[in-house]
Structure 1
Amino acid sequence: MSQKATVLFDAPGPRARRRNAIIGVLGIALLAGGLAWVVYRFDQTGQFDSQKWDPFQYTAIQQMILDGLKATLKAFALAVVFSLVLGALLAAARLSDHRPVRWAATAFVTFFRAMPLLILIFFLYLAPAKLSYWPGFLDFINDDPMWPLVIGLSLYNGTVQAENMRAGILALPKGQSEAAYALGLRKYQVMTFILVPQGIRSMLPTIISQMVVTLKDTSLGFLITYEELLFIAKRLGSYQDYGLPLIPAAIVVGTIYIISCMILSGVAVWLERFLSRGRKGRVQKIDVVSGETLGAGAGISV
């Protein structure tokens, strides 16, 4: 029987397929068994008692969870916008021809990528109170715990996004930039019109994956009393009148996190397909002399 070869390995034969099927069935059985054991232990410890689940049918509790979701999404949206802007600036600086700019950006990226996110958020939460020598200075951070969380997420994820964007640009064939330079385009024109759009599009799955990480990292806000979803779950779990429903609250909030991440991943898939479909057959005309975009056309206008 002829076997079809793939790029990295040969297609499995009958024995390998049978072995893979057995391993898959055993893996699913072990996973189902582990899940059944967890459900059994929850039932034995009374985590499914009606008393622990009664709070979630009240409007006030539902509104509390909704407010926590709004706070989570607000911090997430701000952190995503700031991190993408910061990432683009750092990526451009890392690719700069000027050594001081490139070295400064490299030091910034290296420092904040190595800094643990939790320590960074705590520092931004505690330090402004010690640095405020003038009235009103940094009060916006002291008064609202959302800003230490947003700034910390933006700094950390911005450096990661910068490396993603830089990797996407460097992965492009060098012939594109060389051809553009040969036509007389300046570097900022090559980056703006040719390299950056393609680099971001090629790295879009990685960029969106980091955005999902940003969404999950907003849960660190509960440590600095920011009233996001995890903070609300902890508060609900401390209600004595309902038998300390910490596990039910964690299940509800965890489900909301999972659904939110799945929606974001679905949007990423749709966006990637939309951009790929929208760019087919469309090439921008660029005036080499002025660098202005002349609209959709067949190529580069000289």
Structure 2
Amino acid sequence: MSSVLYDVPGPRARVRNLVLGAITVLVVAAIFGVVVWRLAATGQFDAQKWSIFTYTRPWLLLLEGLGATLAAFVVAAIGALILGFVLAVGRLSDHAWVRVPVGWITEILRAIPVLIFMMLLYYGLPVLGVRMDPYWAVVIALIAYNGSVLAEAIRAGVESLPRGQKEAGYAVGLRKNEVMRLILLPQAVRAMMPVIISQLVVALKDTALGFIITYPELLHYIQLLGGQVPFGTPLVPTAIVGGSIYVALCLLLSYVAYRVEKRTRRSPKAARLDPGDGGDVTTATERIAVQRGVGKFDGTYQGPQL
């Protein structure tokens, strides 16, 4: 018995997969046990190291750092999405004088590491007589790098769509910007949503690089609390607590993205833009044309020659 994508495993294959799965679980559990054992052996679970979290001040510092992290991430995420759309549209332009420079800008921004970009903005600009606040150095660096990566993801999503999507839009009289805005981009964003969310998670974690340029975000306070000698220098306990906060933020962002993606798939507007299972491309495009007052598809190609 077989399916479209693979052969259904038989009795021997099922037993083999079960054995491999059990071995994998045992290996992971053994590694986890060794890590816990070494932490306990080195005194990382001592009450003295964890007693720092019985006071209010450390939690207030962590909340302050969390607020600074979110403040940088929200602005950087919005800016990266805007920059990503602008660069993606520029790279998809039919005009070489737009496409080529935008392509070079995108590649250069992707090639510069985020930390080096932050250091150039914070430590390099004062040499030229311009001083920048650490917050804006972090935000601008995150926008530049993540925006260029998102631009490539969006461009790949648009180019992966069937050619008939674009041709049907031109055939019903839609202009080029309307074809891109109403037909191609909505479908590309839905298709590349997992990649977009993954890159936003990367942007969230990269805010931790701000502590190198003195931005007081979450990692800054984790390092500060971990160096408290009266509590036995609790580096590992503070790292565990701080890491748990980062994990919770990433999981929350992934859940929000999942709900947004699920809602867009159910929305009537998404249904109009997507031809659906076995649907006709021209039918979905014709609905958009009628809504825009362009007219009805008559089978005559009215767009530019492709």
- Could you say which residue in structure 2 is the equivalent of 1:135? none
Calculate the aligned-residue CA RMSD, in Å.
1.7
Which residue, 122, 126, 129 being the options, matches 1:125?
Answer: 122
Q: CA deviation at 1:281?
A: 4.5
Q: Deviations over 1:29-59 (max 9, x none)?
A: 1111111111111111111111111111211
TM normalised by structure 2 equals 0.88
Higher relative contact order (CA 8 A, sep 6+): 2
CA–CA separation in structure 1 for the residues paired with 2:176 and 2:144: 27
- Could you say which residue in structure 2 is the equivalent of 1:111? 108
Q: Deviations over 1:120-163 (max 9, x none)?
A: 2211121110122xxxxx44x2xx21111111111110011001
- Could you say which residue in structure 2 is the equivalent of 1:50? 47
CA–CA separation in structure 2 for the residues paired with 1:89 and 1:226: 29
Q: Which runs of 5+ in 2 are unaligned?
A: 274-284, 297-306
CA–CA separation in structure 1 for the residues paired with 2:232 and 2:216: 22
CA–CA separation in structure 2 for the residues paired with 1:286 and 1:269: 27
CA–CA separation in structure 2 for the residues paired with 1:282 and 1:162: 25
CA–CA separation in structure 1 for the residues paired with 2:231 and 2:127: 41
Which residue, 149, 153, 171 being the options, matches 2:142?
Answer: 153
- Could you say which residue in structure 1 is the equivalent of 2:93? 96
- Could you say which residue in structure 2 is the equivalent of 1:201? 190
- Could you say which residue in structure 1 is the equivalent of 2:67? 70
The amino acid across from 1:17 in the alignment is: R
Q: CA deviation at 1:20?
A: 1.3
1:118-197 matches, cutoff 5 A:
118-132=115-129, 138-139=130-131, 141=132, 144-197=133-186
Which 4+ residue blocks in structure 1 deviate beyond 6 angstroms?
none
TM normalised by structure 1 equals 0.89
Q: CA deviation at 1:286?
A: 4.8
- Could you say which residue in structure 1 is the equivalent of 2:278? none
Q: CA deviation at 1:6?
A: 3.4
Identity %: 46
- Check if 1:79 corresponds to 2:92: no
Q: Which runs of 5+ in 1 are unaligned?
A: 133-137, 295-299
Change (3 A) 1:182 1:282: closer
Judge conservation of contact 2:135–2:215 (CA < 8 Å) in 1.
yes
Which residue, 276, 285, 298 being the options, matches 2:265?
Answer: 276
CA–CA separation in structure 2 for the residues paired with 1:97 and 1:52: 62
CA–CA separation in structure 1 for the residues paired with 2:157 and 2:271: 22
- Could you say which residue in structure 2 is the equivalent of 1:4? 2
Judge conservation of contact 1:90–1:105 (CA < 8 Å) in 2.
yes
The amino acid across from 1:4 in the alignment is: S
Aligned length: 283
CA–CA separation in structure 2 for the residues paired with 1:287 and 1:24: 53
